[in-house]
Amino acid sequence: MGNSSAMSAPLTPPAKRGSAVRRFLENIGGFCIDRRIYFAVFFLSAAIMYGSYAFFKIHPIGDGSVLVLDLNGQYVYYYEHYREAFWGNESWIYSWSRNLSGEMFGIFAYYLASPFMIIIALMPRHMMLTAILIIQLAKIGSSAVTCCFFLKRSAKKEPKTVSLVIFPLMYALMAYMVVQLMDPMWLDGLIYLPLICWGVQRLVKEGKLLPYIVPLALMFIAHFYIGYMVGIFTFFYFCYTCLSDPKRALPKKFILRCLAFGAGTVVALLCAAWVLIPVYNSLKLGKFEFTEPDFSLATQFDFLTFITKLFPMTYDTVYPEGMPMIYCGTLVLLLVPLYFMNEKITVKEKAADGILAAIMVVLMYIKPWDMAMHGFQVPNWLPFRYSFTFSFLLVVMAFKSFENLDGITAKNIGGVFFGLMVFLFWCERENYTHFKLFITRKNAEGEPYNVIQGIWVSMLALAVYFVLLYLVRKYPKSKVAALSLTMVLTVELFAVDIDTIKKIDVDVAYSKYSSYEPYMSDLKKAVDMIEDYDTEPFYRMEATFHRTVNDAIGTGYKSLSHSSSTMNAPALTMLHRLGFAYGGHYTKYDGATPMTDAIFDIKYLMDKTGNDMYVSSRYKVYPEYKLTTEISFDHEKVVDGKSTVVPTTFKFYKNPNALGLGVAAKGDIAGVKLDDDDPFENQNRLFNALAGEEYDFFKPVDVVNSASENLMTVNTTDGHVKYYPMDNSTKECHIDYVVRMDRYSDLYMFLPTKYERSCNIWYQPEDDYVDGEYKMEYVGQFFTGDNYSIMKIGRFIEGQEIRVRVTIANDDNEAYWRDKLFYSFDYDGFAQACAKMQENSLEVTEFEDTQLTGRVNGEEDGQLLFTTIPYENGWNITVNGKTVTPIKAVDDTLIAIPLEKGENVIKMKFSPNYWRLSLVVSIFGVILLAVISVWELGGGKKMIRAMQSEEDTGENGDVLPEPKYSGAQVPEPVMIEIDDEKTLSEKADKTVDKKE
Please state whether beta strands 721-725 and 815-817 pair in parallel, antiparallel, or not at all (unpaired).
Answer: antiparallel
Q: How confident is the model at residue 58 (pLDDT cuts 50, 70, 90)?
A: very high
pLDDT one-digit tens code per residue, 491-509: 999 999 999 999 999 999 9
pLDDT at 902: 93
Q: Which residues of 215-235 are buried (b: 16+ CB within 10 A; e: fewer)?
A: bbbbbbbbbbbbbbbbbebbe
**pLDDT over 50 at 763, yes or no:** yes
Q: Domain spanning 698-825 has what CATH number?
A: 2.60.120.260
pLDDT at 442: 79
Q: Distance between CA 403 and CA 863 in Å, rounded? A: 78
Pick from 578, 206, 226, 607: which is nearest to 388 by CA?
A: 226
pLDDT digits (tens, 9 = 90+) for 205-238: 888 999 999 999 999 999 999 999 999 999 999 9
Mean predicted confidence (pLDDT) in 28-44: 79
Nearest CA to 900 out of 866, 868, 864 is that of 864
Res. 381 pLDDT band, cuts 50 70 90: confident
Q: How confident is the model at residue 362 (pLDDT cuts 50, 70, 90)?
A: very high
Q: Which pLDDT value is given to residue 5?
A: 43
Tell me the CA distances in angstroms from 590 to 53, 79, 143, 576, 792, one per residue in order.
36, 25, 43, 10, 10
The candidate with the shortest Cα–Cα distance to 438, out of 448, 506, 447, is 448
Tell me: cis bond preceding 60? Omega within 30 of 0 counts.
Answer: yes
| pLDDT tens column, 776-816 | 899 989 987 778 999 999 999 999 999 999 999 888 889 99
Angle between helices 679-691 and 827-837 (to 10 degrees): 40
Q: In this prediction, what percent of the chain has a pLDDT beyond 90?
A: 68
* Distance from C-alpha of 558 to C-alpha of 541, rounded to nearest angstrom: 6
| Separation in Å, CA 529 to CA 86, 549, 651 | 22, 21, 11
CA–CA separation, 108 vs 279, rounded Å?
Answer: 9
Least confident of 54-58, 335-339, 619-623, 789-793: 619-623
Mean of per-residue pLDDT scores for the chain: 87
Instruction: Tell me the C-alpha distance between 697 and 745, whole Å.
Output: 11
CA distance 884 to 932: 45
DSSP structural state of residue 841 = B
- Note the pLDDT tens digit of each residue in 234-286: 999 999 998 877 665 566 777 888 999 999 999 999 999 999 999 888 888 77
Q: List pLDDT tens digits, range 527-566.
A: 999 999 999 999 999 999 888 899 999 999 999 999 888 8
What is the pLDDT at residue 941?
57
Q: What's the pLDDT score for residue 994? A: 39
Q: What's the pTM value of the predicted model, to 2 decimals?
A: 0.88
Residue 261 amino acid letter? F
Measured between alpha carbons, how far is 512 from 636 in angstroms, rounded to an integer? 16
Higher pLDDT, 994 or 273: 273
Terminal alpha carbon distance of the chain: 26
> pLDDT band at 582, cuts 50/70/90?
confident
Q: Is the pLDDT of residue 15 over 70?
A: no
Percent of the chain with pLDDT over 70: 88
**What pairing do the DSSP bridges indicate for beta strands 602-609 and 540-543?**
parallel
Residues in the chain, overall count? 996
Residue predicted with more confidence, 978 or 46 = 46
Backbone torsion region of residue 344, taken as left when φ is above 0, otherwise alpha when ψ lies between -120 and 50, otherwise beta? alpha
Which residues lie below 8 Å from residue 928, measured CB to CB, with a gap of 6+? 267, 270
Kind and range of the H or E run holding 528: helix 519-533
Q: How many CB atoms lie within 10 A of CB 290?
A: 17
Quick one: pLDDT band at residue 835, thresholds 50, 70, 90? very high
Amino acid identity at 33: I
Nearest to 83 by CA among 40, 37, 117: 117
pLDDT at 728: 83
Half-sphere exposure (CA, 13 Å, Cβ side) for 498?
16
Least confident of 435-439, 843-847, 967-971: 967-971
CA gap 112, 130 in Å, rounded = 17
Mean pLDDT of 201-208: 91
Q: Cα 880 vs. chain centroid, distance in angstroms?
A: 43
Alpha-carbon distance 814 to 933, whole Å?
A: 65
**pLDDT at residue number 931:** 93
642 by DSSP, 3-state: which? Answer: strand
Give CA angle at 834 (587, 871), nearest 5°: 40
What is the 8-class DSSP label of residue 668? -
Give residue limits of the domains in the chain: 290-508, 514-671, 698-825
